[in-house]
Amino acid sequence: MAIDVSSLSAKQLRELIRKAKGRMKNIDKEKTAKVKAKVNALLKAEGVTFAQVYGKKRGGKTGKVPPKYRNPGGSETWSGRGKRPRWFVAALKAGKKEKDLLIK
């Protein structure tokens, strides 16, 4: 089915694009559901679980990380991941270097 987009108004084009994006999302969901069903059927047929095949940690979370930096004026620590804590930023502004704050 060919659509002559040259004859459509801006409003009609926006509506067509909105519908097309919605259809693409539905197609992706349907495909994912089919693959999940196949994988689950295979796992069931083999008598294993997803965790046995792929391990228990999934989704990019790596768990707790040991601290890398310590606040020289207190007991606060930071792993070096995520947003810098206020005490770390304040120490840098006060002239400390990152290496000065490292836990040895």
pLDDT tens digit sequence for 12-51: 999 999 999 999 999 999 999 999 999 999 999 999 998 8
Query: What's the confidence (pLDDT) of residue 64?
Result: 85
The answer for 51, left when phi > 0, alpha when psi is -120 to 50, beta otherwise, is alpha
Is the pLDDT reported for residue 57 higher than 90? Answer: no
* List of residues 6+ apart from 67 with CB closer than 8 A: 77, 78, 79, 103
Distance (Å, whole) CA 10 – CA 16:
10
Q: Which residue type does 4 have?
A: D
In the chain, domain spans: 7-54, 69-101
Q: Which residue has the higher pLDDT, 40 or 55?
A: 40
Whether the model clears a pTM of 0.85, i.e. scores above it, the answer is no
E strand or H helix at 45, and its extent?
Answer: helix 10-46
